[in-house]
Amino acid sequence: MASSAPISTGLEKLQKTLDGTVEGVKVADLRRDTKDYHDPKNRLTTDYGVKQNNTDDWLKVATEDKTGPMLMEDHAAREKINRFDHERIPERVVHARGSGAFGTFKLHKSLEQYTSAGVLTDTTRSTPTFLRFSTVLGSAGSADTVRDVRGFAIKHYTPEGNWDVVGNNIPVFFIQDAIKFPDVIHAGKPEPHNAVPQAQTAHNNFWDFQFQHTEATHMFMWTQSDRAIPRSYRMMQGFGVNTYTLSNAKGERFFVKFIWTPHLGVHSFVWDEALKLAGQDPDFHRRDLWEAIENKAYPRWDFGVQIIPEGDEDKFEFDILDATKVWPEDLVPIQYVGELELNRNPDEYFTQTEQVAFCTGHVVPGIGFSDDPLLQGRNFSYQDTQLSRLGINFQELPINRPVCPVMNNNRDGGMRHTITKGTVNYWPNRFDAAPPAAVEEQPYIDYPQKVAGMKARLRSKKFREHFNQAQLFYNSLSLPEQMHVQFALGFELDHCEDPIVYERMSQRLADIDINLAKNVAELVGAKIPEQQGRPNHGKKAPGLSQTEFPGKTPTIETRRIAIIIADGYDAAAYNGIVAAAKACSALPYTIAPRRTPIYAAGESKESGKGVKPDHHLEGMRGTMFDSVFVPGGADSIATLRQNGRALHWVREAFAHLKAIGAVGEAVDFVRDACELEGMAFSTSDEVTDSYGVVTAAKVKPTSFKETVKMAKGAADFV
């Protein structure tokens, strides 16, 4: 319940009472507005607090035998329907589908050499954060696993005010100047005449725009790569994308990019999995994040910065203010200086994840903007969009309000909550009340930047080069990643019915790589380009291929392992793998032909024991798991051999490059299911790994540990 204490006086108290940690501050602040629905003292009331004893029947003229007209007099009924009719607010015009979580940011190494920002210099702080992940193009109810960029928007509640970074999981963007944003988004969203397709770029308009708007070339190569189909929000990088600035106590300025790299590594689906999951579990990423945090498997990212001193701005062949370019890591290495952990799920989706409002313009002293023309325009757009989504007082909503004192002469407006006592509401005033902060009080000081130029609709020369980094990206990918790009482009252009679109795009690809262009053109039925368009410079750079991020220490922590059994399964093998998986913090799930108990070999129904499976084979799909393990047991395997769905689980797991484990009789079953004649399989108690299929024909106690260990390295769950 709301307390009357102003935040400013509450803050110091909270910092002391909550284990001395600052992350408690935002949580405690939110508690002021949180009610517990499950409190046994609760009774149904109207919005104005009057207890109700029937909210199921509208007040009406009726008898025991006959119903009659309803009465307008029933204010409580009208209030209930009225409130329901207005539950929806406009969904975000982009990034409508999202999931959020609270967390903590800790700095390990001070950046005081570059900035005076407390959040980037004070290594004793724990800064509370809220991070919202999202897809870009789909509506709020669309599927999580579509091919799309993912949003990575983070709000830091610092004692100096809120600092928002509104980033993505891809380090570059489609456009250089914010004025093009409506065009690129219109081209990607469902087409205007029939509102098809939902949450996809696989259509004429998107690719028509990509061809004509060459500055998007680098970015579309990223969206066709595995980065656009992440396995989990927990397994993708975050990038601030734009170039910001830092300024230090000496008044020196630096250009900066912000990067977050996940401890679990960067991993993706294969396209077929992503497509299927969009139907089988549209909430796959939302659920995955929620469950990980509920299970205390808190996702973590290393936080890093790339820094360029102000004087070096012009030393690169690309413009460092151009958001369609990366700063290659061999030229500007990332310095990892902190860690972000997500450790608390929201209490309520709407008031927190939906109402959170990020603004690129929200920076704190020591952090500033650059002349990046995308960022400058974004600084207008985010504030503006919140006005139509949430109204002018959006910053008062609990999830958005800072944890430090707020005072100024902005007043009134729809749904104002703050009650400001006082007889004046302007500055200067005769009381000297609420004066501007003195320099010693560390206010936000704008960097005195010298600017000169013409007033013109221009972009500088370097902004006009659009292909070098598209080539750099493609050249830097591993062979399998390059093939995935080819197939992705093949898929997307196959969905473009207009020949002008797929013909032109196939020619465009020759500006990046001739083999890529040829292969895609052949797939989509376009004229095959004969020669490379723009010469490929052949350069590569580190940090672009996601294979470089297997994880801080490669792990199967939180990976979902399906263990398939039927009656007569080998209990020792089953128990062994469950224990081994748990010991590695993986999540074993028992899957069987039915969800009533399954009995091990030698175990009778009458024993009343048996294992109750988590799911039956039809209730879930193999796509929802990272790995499949089949214990032996002659009867169990005989049953599974007769079950088409069981065969499909194993076969599909193999096709999706997942680690598969089998012991005892299950070895032959897996070989037959995957039609793997000729591949090496274990025939003894030695563990064999063949293309991620890990087998031991005879079981010895160490096999399970070994199996899990090999599965980790073998398929690496990429």
Beta bridge partners of 256: 244, 307
From 86-94, 470-478, 501-509, 624-632, span contacting ligand HDD (CB under 6 A): 86-94
The only residue of 7, 26, 28, 98 in contact with ligand HDD, by rule CB under 6 A? 98
How far apart are the two ends of the chain, measured CA to CA in Å? 47
263 binds ligand HDD (CB under 6 A): no
Q: Does 129 bind ligand HDD (CB under 6 A)?
A: no
**Interacting stretch for ligand HDD, rule CB under 6 A, among 90-98, 230-238, 506-514, 695-703?**
90-98
Residue 463 binds ligand HDD (CB under 6 A) = no
3 state DSSP class of 384: helix
Q: What is the nearest approach in angstroms of ligand HDD to the Cβ of residue 178? A: 4
User: Is 648 noted as a catalytic residue in this protein?
Assistant: no
Instruction: Determine the distance from the C-alpha atom of residue 412 to the mean position of all C-alpha atoms in its chain, rounded to a whole number.
Output: 36
Cα 196–Cα 198–Cα 199 angle in degrees, nearest 5: 140
CB of 147 to ligand HDD, least distance (A): 17
Q: Residue 389 CB, nearest distance to ligand HDD (Å)?
A: 7
Q: CB of 374: closest distance to ligand HDD in angstroms?
A: 5
| 714: amino acid identity, one letter | A
Active site residue 54: no
Size of the site for ligand HDD (CB under 6 A): 27
Q: State yes or no: residue 211 binds ligand HDD (CB under 6 A).
A: no
By the 8 A CB rule, do 114 and 254 touch?
yes
Name which of 98 and 265 has its Cβ closer to ligand HDD. Answer: 98
Kindly name the residue from 168, 205, 345, 400 that is annotated as catalytic: 168
Among the options 95, 218, 362, 484, which is catalytic? 95
The amino acid that residue 518 corresponds to is: K
For ligand HDD, the binding residues in 158-177 under the rule CB under 6 A are 166-168, 173
Rg (CA), the chain: 29
Per CB under 6 A, contacts with ligand HDD among 415-434 are none
- CA–CA separation, 675 and 530 (whole Å): 38
Q: Which is nearer to ligand HDD, 384 or 618 (CB)?
A: 384
If the CB atoms of residues 120 and 321 are measured against ligand HDD, the closer one turns out to be: 321
By CB under 6 A, is residue 381 in contact with ligand HDD? yes
Task: Please list, in sequence order, all residues whose beta carbon lies within 8 angstroms of the beta carbon of residue 147, skipping any fewer than 6 positions away.
Answer: 200, 201, 202, 223, 224, 228, 229, 271, 274, 488, 492
* 97 touching ligand HDD, by CB under 6 A: no
Judged by CB under 6 A, the chain residues 300 through 329 that form the site for ligand HDD are 323
CB of 285 to ligand HDD, least distance (A): 14
Residue 277 makes CB contacts below 8 A (sequence gap 6+) with: 143, 144, 145, 269, 284, 623, 624
Does the CA dihedral 317-322-323-324 come out positive or negative?
A: negative
CB nearer to ligand HDD: pick between 352 and 475: 352
Task: Return the residue of 26, 97, 132, 671 that touches ligand HDD, per CB under 6 A.
Answer: 132
In this chain, which residue has its C-beta nearest to ligand HDD?
151
Q: Which candidate, 237, 233, 232, 219, places its Cα nearest to that of 273?
A: 232
Closest distance between ligand HDD and the C-beta of residue 280, in Å?
A: 25
For 153, what's the count of Cα atoms within 13 Å in the CB-facing half-sphere? Answer: 26
**Window 235 to 254, contacts with ligand HDD (CB under 6 A):** 241-242
Q: Which of residues 134-163 bind ligand HDD (CB under 6 A)?
A: 134, 151, 153
Among 6, 333, 361, 377, binds ligand HDD (CB under 6 A): 377
**3-state DSSP helix/strand/coil % of the chain, to nearest 5:** 35, 15, 50
Do 126 and 22 form a contact (C-beta atoms < 8 A)? yes
285 in contact with ligand HDD (CB under 6 A)? no
Going by C-beta distance under 8 Å and a sequence separation of 6 or more, which residues neighbour residue 409? Answer: 425, 426, 427, 434
Asked whether position 374 contacts ligand HDD by CB under 6 A, the answer is yes
Question: Closest by alpha carbon to 137, among 95, 109, 87, 183?
Answer: 95
Token readout for 682 is 């274990």
* Of the residues 14, 22, 94, 598, which one makes contact with ligand HDD according to CB under 6 A: 94
Tell me the closest approach of the beta carbon of residue 172 to ligand HDD, in angstroms. Answer: 8
Burial class of residue 108 (count of CB atoms within 10 Å of its CB; 0-12, 13-18, 19+): exposed
Residue 499: asked if its preceding bond is cis (omega within 30°), the reply is no
Q: Which of 93, 331, 541, 601 binds ligand HDD (CB under 6 A)?
A: 93
Q: Which is nearer to ligand HDD, 165 or 501 (CB)?
A: 165
Nearer to ligand HDD, 167 or 190 (CB): 167
In the bound state with ligand HDD, the residue whose beta carbon lies nearer, of 380 and 431, is 380
**Total residue count of the chain as it appears in this document:** 718
Q: How many angstroms separate the CA atoms of 540 and 563, rounded?
A: 41
Residue 283 and residue 144 in contact, taking contact as beta carbons nearer than 8 Å = yes
| Interface with ligand HDD, residue 699, by CB under 6 A | no
Cα 380 from chain centroid? 24
| Nearer residue to ligand HDD within complex by CB, 221 or 591 | 221
Strand pairing category for 587-592 and 615-616: parallel
Q: In whole angstroms, how close is the CB of 394 to ligand HDD at the nearest point?
A: 10
Q: Which is nearer to ligand HDD, 356 or 687 (CB)?
A: 356
Binding residues among 175-204 for ligand HDD as defined by CB under 6 A: 178, 181
Q: Is residue 218 at the binding interface for ligand HDD, with CB under 6 A as the rule?
A: no
CB neighbourhood size of 248 (10 A):
17
Residue 349 binds to ligand HDD (criterion: CB under 6 A): no
Cite the active site residues.
95, 168
By CB under 6 A, name the binding residues for ligand HDD.
Answer: 92-95, 98, 132, 134, 151, 153, 166-168, 173, 178, 181, 241-242, 323, 356-358, 374, 377-378, 381-382, 385
